[in-house]
């Protein structure tokens, strides 16, 4: 069975004391996971080491960066590379979140390079895709997302592709309280798996966890995760509340 993953994306939230409090609440009698389940915390660079230390020895709990640079090193002031993350024991990195695609103008070609830098460093990319409302309104969302997947990932070998996680996050559902219906999520996830299967075969496609993101909450997680191709969630706002996020963890298959 492929991994079922509850991933938190804290984005640019939480001061240090708030982070410590959230970790205390989350890890006090922390939810135990079965062998197929994971909890991933994608946190600001500054907190990676502290969170990594807190999660040490906790089976299935992983820390993730929210971004990395597309080069390995050099004169890029303010940036953080994949080899740096790897050298600090960071196993995962979110790549291509829609907020970075939009606000930092990250292109598909740039994201393909970031995926490569992660994989070279032994970091598992959590590759984000998803359409804007204007795309969904024209009914072309499946083709749009398929193109993001092709452009970002299809240069990979089957072995390399097997090591990634995909997160489908419709932009119109992010931070809006307006979640995709479980049927809309399942339909897109099935389509993404179909695109992967066409290129890499059903066996490889069947191994890739595909997470849903966009206004996932404790109250809707179980329904969203019920879809056969929905392997958990990438959670923004609700991951900042320990009670909510613990409900989301409990909703994993």
Report the interface residues with ligand 13P, using CB under 6 A: 9, 97, 169, 174-175, 213-216, 234-238
Distance in angstroms (rounded) separating the CA atoms of residues 212 and 221:
10
Mapping DSSP to helix (H, G, I), strand (E, B) and coil, where does residue 174 land? coil
Distance in angstroms (rounded) separating the CA atoms of residues 74 and 219:
45
Residue closer to ligand 13P, measured from CB, 40 or 83 = 40
* Minimum distance of ligand 13P from residue 60's CB (angstroms): 20
97 is catalytic: yes
Which residue has the CB atom at the shortest distance from ligand 13P? 236
* Minimum distance of ligand 13P from residue 163's CB (angstroms): 20
* Minimum distance of ligand 13P from residue 158's CB (angstroms): 27
Whether the Cβ atoms of residue 208 and residue 162 lie closer than 8 Å to each other: yes
Whether the Cβ atoms of residue 18 and residue 245 lie closer than 8 Å to each other: no
Catalytic residue, candidates 69, 97, 106, 189: 97
Around 58, how many Cα atoms within 13 Å sit in the side-chain half-sphere?
22
* Minimum distance of ligand 13P from residue 234's CB (angstroms): 4
Residue closer to ligand 13P, measured from CB, 45 or 204 = 45
Q: Which two tokens stand for residue 144?
A: 């749009």
Residue closer to ligand 13P, measured from CB, 9 or 81 = 9
169 is catalytic: yes
Catalytic residue, candidates 38, 99, 169, 244: 169
Radius of gyration (C-alpha) of the chain in whole angstroms: 17
Whether the Cβ atoms of residue 23 and residue 57 lie closer than 8 Å to each other: no
Residue closer to ligand 13P, measured from CB, 95 or 200 = 95
Whether the Cβ atoms of residue 45 and residue 11 lie closer than 8 Å to each other: no
Q: Which residues are catalytic?
A: 97, 169
């Amino acid at each position: 069975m492929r991994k079922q993953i509850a991933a938190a994306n804290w984005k640019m939230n939480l001061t240090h004391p708030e982070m410590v409090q959230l970790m205390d609440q989350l890890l006090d009698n922390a939810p135990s996971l079965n062998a197929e389940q994971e909890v991933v915390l994608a946190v600001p660079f500054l907190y990676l080491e502290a969170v990594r230390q807190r999660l040490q020895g906790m089976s299935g709990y992983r820390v993730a960066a929210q971004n990395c640079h597309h080069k390995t090193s050099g004169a890029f002031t303010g940036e953080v590379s994949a080899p740096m993350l790897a050298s600090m024991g960071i196993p995962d990195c979110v790549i291509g979140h829609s907020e970075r695609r939009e606000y930092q103008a990250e292109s598909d070609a740039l994201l393909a390079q970031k995926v490569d830098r992660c994989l070279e460093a032994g970091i598992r990319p959590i590759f984000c895709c998803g359409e804007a409302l204007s795309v969904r309104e024209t009914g072309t969302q499946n083709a749009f997302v398929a193109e993001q997947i092709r452009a970002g990932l299809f240069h990979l070998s089957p072995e390399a592709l097997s090591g990634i996680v995909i997160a489908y996050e419709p932009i119109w559902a992010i931070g809006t309280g307006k979640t995709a219906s479980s049927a809309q999520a399942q339909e897109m996830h099935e389509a993404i798996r179909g695109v992967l299967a066409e290129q890499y075969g059903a066996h490889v496609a069947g191994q890739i966890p595909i997470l849903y993101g966009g206004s996932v909450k404790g109250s809707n997680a179980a329904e969203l995760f019920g879809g056969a191709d929905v392997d958990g969630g990438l959670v923004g706002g609700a991951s900042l509340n320990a009670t909510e996020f613990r409900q989301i963890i409990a909703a994993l298959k």
